[in-house]
Amino acid sequence: MDIYLVFVLIIAGLAVSGLIVGVSNDAVNFLVSAVGSRAVTLKVALAVASVGIVIGTAFSGGMMEVARKGIFNPSQFAFYEVMIVFMAVMIANILLLDFFNTFGLPTSTTVSLVFALLGASVGLTIIKISRSAETLQNAGNYINSGRTLLIIAGILLSVIVAFTAALIVQFVVRLVFSFDYRKTIRYFGSVFGGMALASIVYFTLIEGAKGVTFFSAENIAWIQNYSGAVILITFLGGSTILQILTWLFNLNVFKFIILIGTGALALAFAGNDLVNFIGVPLAGYESYRLFSAAGGSDPAGFLMSGLQGQVRTPTIFLLAAGIIMVTTLYVSKKAKSVIKTSLSLSNQEETVERFESSALARSLVRIALSIGSFFEKILPARVLKLINKRLDPAYFKNTTTDKSVSFDLVRASVNLVVASVVITFGTSLKLPLSTTYVTFMVAMGTSLVDGAWSRETAVYRVNGMMTVIGGWFFTALIAFICAFMVAALLYYGGIVALIVMIALSLFLTYRTNALHNKRTEEFKKSEKIISDTTQIDKSGILLQCNNTVINACAKVADIYEKIIDGWIGEKRRKLKKACQDCKELTEEMRELQASTYYVIRKLQVEESIEGGHHYIQVVEQLRDVSEFLNYISQPVFKHVDNNHAPLKSHQIHDINEFTVLFISFINHIIKAVSGKEFDKVKIMSLSHQLLDLLVKLKKDQLKLIKSGQTSTRISMLYMDVLAESRNLVLGSRILFEDALALAEYSKGAKSLLKD
């Protein structure tokens, strides 16, 4: 078989993988509004988006030129070289996008494609120049710098335009409808619906028709000539029909717009972003076809000037890609993770914040508050009162009982209409805009108007937005570097390097999938605490508390035993694992403490004060115990990791004696809390024995230090471990007492007081 045909087949296989990985990330673009507002079920949203994607593939033909000649000048590269460029781009894209999907961060497949193409072509350009008499000043002959800068500028400008347009449109629409839109929708909903339909039809059909592969020049000319009439008829006819349906059948115009908008945005996405997934493979196929037609004898000498011309993409390829994309929507778990990130950043209510705050985010929030105070001073009181009344989100909070609703139908409608208009307009100009950037910034603009970023959540969501935007720049840099390196490896390593890179891609994809599953399970635990609104009585809070104490104590005993065993035997790996376990336990306890607010809210009214107090006491003590354990594990690991002196034989004997007694102490607490063996006297006796033993061990160590029989470093660590072990004992005893107090409060519950 022709080796270059194998290359084409491999690129085609990578294209399928790229479609799956890319759509998993970009599904957020057209599903988040319908899902977040709960206008329709996820199944309905997927069905509408699927239709939009299939239709949108027909609008993408004109965008395929970007992969063939938008970034580099194909007439300066031989067939063998362009195949290396295309292969490097596909491998780099898959690795990069899968990484972002794993961590649930929406990134740009467009930026990934553009900068991967740029990185791979620059890499080959440098290699070609280094092997000739040319200098780097001649690089402009190889790289289409003007077109590349235009594409990059279009991407950056689209971010600003999307955010600004969304902010303005949402402000106007919210002033008209307010959050109590049910009172105004019957009068103004149809007009807004007509305007939305007219906008979608104009930018999708009239502007987007330029890239349809099966439209003739006459068809396109006719559409352009009668565009004004089409828009006017759409607006007037749409408004009239929607108004009649509203009066007769109580139609919710916003839900109708969301359905149409979801399909339009999916169509716009497919029309603009399909090039990101199959543009390179189709360019590779076209290159192979031209090479074979020329005889296929000199891959290193046959220049790819044929890619410079106009090439109509076969419609069958576009439809096949659409089918793969639609299938991915239904089966991809990672797509749902990316959707959750955008929903959490635009949620109207409190939710599990996926990001921490940062100094820059805090500064930006302070600046925004200052600007807000400035406008409050200069605007008339009546105007401020009117604006505040129309933009007051209190109505949303008072009427939305479904906690799965992230925002209302008004915002969802604006999100979809504005995003689809901006993207489709970019497609008509043959600019590969980032649909992710556009939809994300539209969502952020509308969220800002709606006051979704309150004083309680602003710093976290601003930092989340900055993290996502920072990820976009990170995408560009890493895509460039990764494609550059892969192209160089393929050029010098040939088929061996190709096999290694494909194997590495498969392995990393497998590993990131496992990591994604783990992260998803962890987030589900936190999310369940908020979404579950079941009331908790005395028995319920006791059972929940006891289970937590039992699990935490078992982990404490296991980790402490690992630390001491690893220290005695100088087992670095075991200590490292103990440190990791300790870190996870500490994080688990921090999350538990952070969730106490939601647990207290679910307590029955009569239980909320006393029961809540005891529950908080237990949780706080669990947090302290985990921290004490962390203070032991880190210094011990550092000591062994630095190859410092080991413990002396008498120190090993003493610390082992303490460990055995401590494990027995923890096990008695576990048995008591679980109701298997309640012996408060025994537990208190063991705690006193442990504290007395620690005093003895400290005195023995002081004698050794005084006599100079031990080194300074090991003595300091030993004393520190004894001190933190004392805190651990005291903390565990207080934890038991707090759990006992909760059991006594719960009276009839079957635990602790069982005996």
Residue 606 pLDDT class (50, 70, 90 cuts): low
Whole-angstrom distance, CA of residue 123 vs CA of residue 142? 11
Stretch 589-616: mean pLDDT: 68
Check if the beta carbon of residue 485 is closer than 8 Å to that of residue 123: yes
Check if the beta carbon of residue 262 is closer than 8 Å to that of residue 204: no
Per-residue model confidence (pLDDT) at position 514: 60
Stretch 66-71: mean pLDDT: 74
DSSP state, 181? G
Residue % of the chain over a pLDDT of 90: 17
Angle at alpha carbon of residue 717, lines to 712 and 721, rounded to 5°: 150
Per-residue model confidence (pLDDT) at position 21: 64
- Answer with the residue of higher pLDDT: 87 or 18: 87
Per-residue model confidence (pLDDT) at position 532: 47
H helical segments located in 708-755? 712-746
Whole-angstrom distance, CA of residue 189 vs CA of residue 8? 52
Highest mean pLDDT pick, 141-145, 334-338, 462-466: 141-145
First to last CA, the chain: 80
Whole-angstrom distance, CA of residue 346 vs CA of residue 447? 6
Per-residue model confidence (pLDDT) at position 725: 93
pLDDT at residue 563 above 90? Answer: yes
Stretch 448-474: mean pLDDT: 72
Integer CA distances (angstroms), 185 to 176, 191, 399, 410, in order: 9, 9, 16, 10
Residue 215 pLDDT class (50, 70, 90 cuts): low
Stretch 666-686: mean pLDDT: 85
Dump strand ranges (E) for 470-616.
none
Per-residue model confidence (pLDDT) at position 2: 67
Per-residue model confidence (pLDDT) at position 529: 44
Per-residue model confidence (pLDDT) at position 645: 83
Residue 119 pLDDT class (50, 70, 90 cuts): very high
Integer CA distances (angstroms), 31 to 98, 330, 416, 417, 440, in order: 19, 12, 9, 13, 12
Stretch 653-675: mean pLDDT: 90
Per-residue model confidence (pLDDT) at position 643: 86
Residue with tokens 């009569």: 606
Residue with tokens 């460039």: 480
Buried b (16+ CB within 10 A) or exposed e, 408-441: bbbbbbbbbbbbbbbbbbbbbebbbbbbbbbbbb
Whole-angstrom distance, CA of residue 682 vs CA of residue 669? 10
Q: How far is CA 321 from the centre of its chain?
A: 25
722 token code pair: 């004894």
pLDDT at residue 750 above 50? Answer: no
CA-derived radius of gyration, the chain? 32
Longest CA–CA span in the chain (Å) reads 102
DSSP conformation letters of 39-59: SS-HHHHHHHHHHHHHHHHTT
Residue 513 pLDDT class (50, 70, 90 cuts): low
Check if the beta carbon of residue 74 is closer than 8 Å to that of residue 435: no
Stretch 319-325: mean pLDDT: 81
pTM: 0.63
Residue with tokens 């057209």: 30
Stretch 448-467: mean pLDDT: 72
Per domain, the residue ranges of the chain are 3-526, 534-746
Which residues fall within 8 angstroms of residue 40, CB to CB, at 6 or more apart? 34, 48, 255, 258, 259
Stretch 129-150: mean pLDDT: 83
Per-residue model confidence (pLDDT) at position 755: 41
H, E, C per residue of 312-362: CCCHHHHHHHHHHHHHHHHHCHHHHHHHHHHHHHHCCCCCCCCCCCCHHHH
Check if the beta carbon of residue 717 is closer than 8 Å to that of residue 635: yes
pLDDT in tens, 182-200: 878 888 889 999 998 988 8
Residue 396 pLDDT class (50, 70, 90 cuts): low
Question: Range with the lowest mean pLDDT among 366-375, 402-411, 531-540, 589-598?
Answer: 531-540
Whole-angstrom distance, CA of residue 415 vs CA of residue 29? 10
- Answer with the residue of higher pLDDT: 452 or 396: 452
Stretch 697-723: mean pLDDT: 84
Q: What is the mean pLDDT of the chain?
A: 79
Residue with tokens 């990130």: 341
Sign of CA dihedral 69, 70, 72, 76: positive
pLDDT at residue 340 above 50? Answer: yes
pLDDT at residue 176 above 70? Answer: yes
Per-residue model confidence (pLDDT) at position 60: 65
pLDDT at residue 236 above 90? Answer: yes
What is the number of H-type helices and E-type strands within the chain?
Answer: 26, 0
Integer CA distances (angstroms), 63 to 17, 77, 441, 567, in order: 20, 21, 23, 62
CATH no., domain 534-746: 1.20.58.220
Whole-angstrom distance, CA of residue 339 vs CA of residue 727? 44
Long-range contacts formed by 205-210: CB under 8 A, 24+ apart:
205/230, 206/230, 206/231, 207/424, 207/425, 207/427, 207/428, 208/59, 208/267, 208/268, 208/271, 208/424, 208/427, 208/428, 209/59, 210/62, 210/428
- Answer with the residue of higher pLDDT: 518 or 100: 100
Question: Range with the lowest mean pLDDT among 56-65, 296-305, 322-331, 734-743?
Answer: 56-65
pLDDT at residue 91 above 60? Answer: yes
pLDDT at residue 748 above 50? Answer: no
Stretch 616-639: mean pLDDT: 89
Whole-angstrom distance, CA of residue 95 vs CA of residue 505? 6
pLDDT at residue 102 above 80? Answer: no
Whole-angstrom distance, CA of residue 113 vs CA of residue 105? 17
Residue 688 pLDDT class (50, 70, 90 cuts): very high
pLDDT in tens, 237-276: 999 999 999 888 888 899 999 999 888 888 877 777 776 6
Residue 521 pLDDT class (50, 70, 90 cuts): low
Check if the beta carbon of residue 272 is closer than 8 Å to that of residue 427: yes
